[in-house]
Amino acid sequence: MNRTCIAFLKEWLIAPKRKPLIIRGARQVGKTWIVRHLAELKGMKLIEFNFEKNPERAELFESNDPKEIILRIEQRFAIQVDPSKT
- DSSP assignment string, 22-41: -----TTSSHHHHHHHHHHH
Q: How do residues 26-60 score in pLDDT, each as one tens digit? A: 999 999 999 999 999 999 999 999 999 999 999 99
pLDDT at 3: 77
The pTM of the full predicted model, rounded to 2 decimals, is: 0.79
Confidence of residue 2 (pLDDT cuts 50, 70, 90): low
Residue 1 has pLDDT above 90, yes or no: no
Domain boundaries, the chain: 1-44, 47-86
C-alpha to C-alpha distance for 10 and 41, rounded to whole angstroms: 10
Report the amino acid identity of residue 8. F
Q: What is the mean pLDDT of the chain?
A: 92
Percent of the chain scoring above 90 in pLDDT: 76
